[in-house]
Copies of this chain bind each other. A is one copy, B any other.
Amino acid sequence: MSSANHAGAPLTPAVIFEMLQAHQRTSALKAAIDLDIFRAVGEGPGDVASIARQCKASERGIRILCDFLVVCGVLSKEDGLYKHTPTSAAFLDPRSPACMASIAQFLGNPAMHEPFKNLAEIVRTGRTSMPGDGTVEPENPVWVQFAETMGPMMGPMAGPLGAVVLEGSTDPMHVLDIAAGHGLFGIEIAKQNPQARVTGLDWAPVLRVALENARKAGVHDRYNMLPGSAFEVDYGGPYDAVLLTNFLHHFDKPTNVSLLKKVRSALKPGGRAATLEFVPNEDRVSPPMPAAFSLTMLTSTAAGDAYTLSELTAMYNEAGYSGITAHPIPMSPHTVVMGLA
């Protein structure tokens, strides 16, 4: 992420210019996805005129945008023809099963970008400029979009999360998936364990997305829905495991401790509470992606954060859990942190 000056090399202000222009990278990728450029490049032949025709766009615009994407490393250019890089072929060509172009809809949502225009003011006040509690206001429609579009990014975390939670168990069990969203984490539990029953908890419009995904995965007969707020609904149970994915970072520590206590009271003795989180190192400035995530919590919530492992462990302990373990997911910025009731 950084292109800082290195010791010994002459100082240049390149990183400053680069940061001030970095917003262009976001707009360029979003525009390329909206124009379906990655499909056109995949179909070939890759010359400017052909891509412009396929995307119903001007040649000047296509040539300049595609060159910019090459500079960014998400296309290549050989003898004047644009080609996929391995990355763009895998993750941006809509014909690829791993395509995650849809995440640009959530991450590029103007509602998520808006607070960044007021960032100095947000830093002054210390909380989101969105109304109320920001993205965690009840029934915020952004979470339907999250559920509908972020699956391709979160899906690859589901397998490793399921493996940590299940440890190979195929015993009958009941699992609660709090803030289920797209539902992929609970669905993965049901896929890995044919005797697992899963209850997805989220706001009702979001759960419709989870149920549709459960149907696609063929596990909907073992998938139940519990619509409402995680802070208000009766969880039922007792459960063998509770998933708390991408959730704690939205709230302050006391709120999380209360929530973890409520979760513990819905778990069988020895049951597992598993969070999936961006967990920066204790220095809070590494690794880049988890550390940088705090800024999204500053701009979109009243008091959320990317918590360090010691902070998460303290919250688990205060809520009465034991045996707290951390499981970084390889090749990803995410970590599973699990405690036992």
Contacts and interface: CB of A to CB of B under 8 A. Distances in A.
A92 interface: yes
A4 B286 CA distance: 19
A298 B61 contact: yes
Nearest to A80: B283
A35 B123 contact: yes
B122 A20 contact: no
A87 B24 contact: no
Given A1-B71, A12-B332, A17-B333, 5 more contacts: A4-B85, A19-B28, A20-B104, A35-B123, A60-B303
Contacts of A305: 64
B19 A72 contact: yes
A58 B5 contact: no
Nearest to A125: B58
17 contacts: A1-B71, A11-B86, A13-B90, A16-B103, A17-B333, A20-B26, A22-B24, A23-B23, A24-B296, A28-B119, A35-B123, A55-B123, A58-B125, A61-B126, A67-B284, A67-B285, A71-B288
B12 A19 contact: no
A61 B125 contact: yes
A116 interface: yes
Nearest to A104: B20
Most B Cβ at <10 Å: residue of A11, A24, A286, A298? A24
A95 to B, nearest CB: 16
A26 B16 contact: no
A289 B17 contact: yes
A330 B291 CA distance: 34
Interface size class, chain A:
35 or more
User: Majority SS of interface residues in chain A?
Assistant: helix
Contacts of A126: 57-61
Interface string A47-90: 00000000111111111110110111110010000000111001
A154 to B, nearest CB: 12
A278 to B, nearest CB: 11
Contact of A26 (B15, B23, B77, B125): B23
A108 interface: yes
Contact of A289 (B14, B91, B108): B14
B10 A19 contact: no
B294 A68 contact: yes
A254 to B, nearest CB: 15
Contacts of A18: 1, 289
